[in-house]
Structure 1
Amino acid sequence: MRVDVITLFPEALESVLASSILGRAVREGRVEIVRTNLRDFAGDARGTVDDKPFGGGPGMVLMCEPVFRAVEHVRALDERPAWVVLLTPQGQRLDQAKVRDLAGRDRLMLVCGHYEGFDERIRTLADEEISIGDYVLTGGEVPALVVIDAVARLLPGVLGAEDGAREESFALGATGGGLEYPQYTRPREFRGMAVPEMLLSGNHAAIARWRADEARQRTRGRRADLSRLPEPSARPNGQGRDPVVGQGEPQEE
């Protein structure tokens, strides 16, 4: 996958894109991330990309000309069609379903907003608009990093544990689209807090059921809006509750 980012501050993305799992994915060629400075497409030597809004009002608005020139230039850099995304608080709220949709595309172009937003005509360039939440940031660089990180980790080979993305919060595997089950590692006991005996039992089917039940309970308690699953039914042998399909024992391929 190729991701183009059009931004006024390409240097703001550098450290995150070079670090940790995302940096390794870039170095291994699993995702290509290209940053383009919007000021390079300004119509004057000063690099002006914004102006006062017609009708009055506070702040400045990103102008049509530099954004159109930048998008058209970047679009032509690669033969793969670019899915153009404006990062704006007016967009569709990003969730894991949208992340999966974006991860299925060959090429994304993320356009970062700034100041008081985009000239309305710029929206005609976009295939869609995305917001990362119901709040306003100073610019689109942080949302761009959120989108890139969330999408890249779903690409083949990016995560070391291939099952990791299927069993975490909001995934459609063991959590059924809800929150992830509790996780523990060594030591077995710390300051009076012990790891549940179930996780030490070695019974993988029972552990899968326990995790499915814990994921349901956590989702219902913390994110009722995500809780669309029926209550698990009691098992006749008293050994727990049946998992919802896709949540319990691993399914055969």
Structure 2
Amino acid sequence: MKLHVLMDEVCACRACHRLVAWRERVGVEKRKSYRDQEYWARPVPAFGDPHARLLVLGLAPAAHGANRTGRMFTGDRSGDFLYAAMHRAGFATQPTSTARGDGLELRDAWVTAAVKCAPPDNKPLPPERDACSAFVLRELRLLPNLRVILCLGGFAYDAALRLLRDAGAAVPQPAPRFGHGVRVAVPGAPSLLCSYHPSQQNTFTGRLTPAMLDDVFAAAREMIAD
């Protein structure tokens, strides 16, 4: 119930004027292939199992993906790549995520983003990241079984480090540099695990392959078990 209330607060947020203007502009102008669809065009709530031991942390909603569908990593190629891997690893009930209400459920996993609104050029500003950090910090506190935070990309990794420090966790100083497969143990808090972001820029070029993402989710399973 508390998570539900928090997600309602997320969806109603209008704190960042630049992000509000952009997400709503995209929802009006639309991409031609989606011109007959009604865009969500609001902050995108997190999604998943409230008993999750794994949290998947992304950057922000995609303008014509989650900003259109209203669900994290849903309706774009990044989500196709991510949820297919989560299904193979047993964290998702199906390999596709096309729309809210499509039947997808997550098992032992929670998917969220460091910034809740789609940003121009997919680049949130530091004040926008900081404005959303309170939401994500509350998510962490309302997910008592969390063991691992999987950070998709360097932005998410930096955000996770900030969140854990804000929560009073003993984050290593200096923290390891971001890299695919990097693991960071944090005493008394969820451990961090890093992956390249499943953006088309990474997946189309082979920087991130299905096998590489499978290895990351296998590592997440191992860390949860430990």
What band does the TM-score fall into relative to the shorter chain? 0.3 to 0.5
Give the helix-richer structure, 1 or 2.
Answer: 2
Instruction: Please report the TM-score for the alignment, with normalisation by the length of structure 2.
Output: 0.33
| Bigger CA radius of gyration | 1
Bigger RCO (CA 8 Å, 6+ sep): 2
Instruction: Please report the TM-score for the alignment, with normalisation by the length of structure 1.
Output: 0.30
Give the strand-richer structure, 1 or 2.
Answer: 1
